[in-house]
């Protein structure tokens, strides 16, 4: 299932094991370890590394963030802040293959961005974009690329806030609050149920509580509709100093 030649998930599963054995009152009572392994195997295929270039457009950083493949034609969602003042953007798949991307739309008011690349291989995509609200304490997982390596942490969906009042986001933007030991590099990655439904796009965590934050899928779907209505791409000015 998680062959060493294909995956980079052994460190997070060691962490996962510690959670299971040290906190049997939480994850151990919810699902079996195998449920998390199966979900992680699926999520690894749809979680990409986002790489952005410097001013020259030639040198790419591998320690930027994550993205989620939401369509097997090469559509990826990530966070707007992951792109920053991007010049060129690439995605790196779990198998190591890299592809240049174009930005179809950026929505900084929701901290979302949608990318497109032309795959030369068959892709797996998120099997379901889940708009419904989950019950409190529903088990989930998060994947990202902290320190430039694919990582997974188990999570619990805790709360849905209709308006979180976060300065980064437009007023009235809802947020999913979850327990999960995320760190820089998870932004843009999926918050996924153990059955494979993507419920949110991770964009950060609360510094005081340590709880994770994700944009609900219904916000992403609304932004995808805006791209569709614009003819498939929302043009934006080129970044300053771009060559």
Residue 161 contacts by C-beta under 8 Å, 6 or more apart in sequence?
A: 174, 175, 176, 177
For residue 185, pLDDT beyond 90: yes
Q: Which pTM value belongs to this model?
A: 0.83
Is residue 152 included in any domain, yes or no? Answer: yes
- Domain co-membership, 130 together with 207: yes
Average the pLDDT over each of 53-62, 95-104, 219-228 and give the range with the smallest value.
53-62
> In the chain, which residue ranges form alpha helices assigned H by DSSP?
10-22, 33-46, 80-83, 217-229
Is residue 234 included in any domain, yes or no? Answer: no
Is residue 17 included in any domain, yes or no? Answer: no
Is residue 166 included in any domain, yes or no? Answer: yes
> pLDDT value at position 32?
76
Q: How far apart are alpha carbons 181 and 15 in whole angstroms?
A: 10
Is residue 94 included in any domain, yes or no? Answer: yes
Is residue 117 included in any domain, yes or no? Answer: yes
- Of 92, 125, 158, the one marking the end of a domain is 125
Exposure string over 17-28, b if 16+ CB within 10 A, otherwise e: eebbeeeeeebe
- Domain co-membership, 144 together with 35: yes
Percent with pLDDT over 70 in the chain: 80
Q: How many domains does the chain contain in total?
A: 2
Is residue 215 included in any domain, yes or no? Answer: yes
For residue 199, pLDDT beyond 70: yes
**Digit-coded pLDDT (tens) for 7-34:** 434 333 333 332 332 233 344 344 677 8
Domain with 132, as residue range(s), is 31-44+126-222
- Domain co-membership, 36 together with 131: yes
For residue 148, pLDDT beyond 70: yes
Domain of 78, CATH number, reads 2.40.10.10
- Domain co-membership, 186 together with 82: no
- Domain co-membership, 72 together with 177: no
């Amino acid at each position: 299932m998680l062959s060493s030649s294909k995956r980079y998930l052994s460190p997070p599963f060691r962490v996962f094991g510690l959670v299971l054995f040290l906190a049997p009152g939480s994850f151990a009572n919810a699902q079996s370890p195998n449920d998390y392994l199966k979900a992680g195997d699926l999520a690894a295929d749809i979680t990409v590394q986002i790489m952005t270039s410097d001013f020259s457009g030639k040198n790419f950083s591998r320690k930027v963030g994550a993205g989620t493949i939401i369509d097997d034609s090469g559509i990826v969602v990530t966070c707007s802040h992951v792109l920053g003042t991007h010049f060129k953007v690439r995605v790196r798949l779990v198998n190591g293959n890299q592809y240049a991307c174009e930005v179809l739309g950026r929505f900084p008011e929701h901290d979302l961005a949608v990318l497109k690349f032309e795959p030369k291989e068959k892709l797996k995509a998120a099997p379901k974009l889940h708009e419904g609200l989950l019950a409190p304490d529903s088990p989930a997982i998060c994947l990202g690329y902290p320190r430039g390596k694919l990582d997974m942490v188990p999570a619990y969906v805790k709360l849905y806030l209709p308006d979180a009042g976060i300065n980064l986001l437009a007023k009235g933007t809802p947020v999913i609050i979850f327990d999960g030991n995320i760190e820089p590099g998870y932004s843009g990655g999926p918050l996924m149920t153990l059955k494979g439904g993507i419920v949110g796009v991770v964009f950060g965590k609360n510094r005081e509580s340590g709880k994770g934050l994700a944009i609900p899928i219904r916000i992403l779907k609304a932004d995808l509709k805006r791209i569709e209505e614009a003819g498939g791409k929302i043009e934006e000015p080129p970044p300053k100093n771009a060559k």
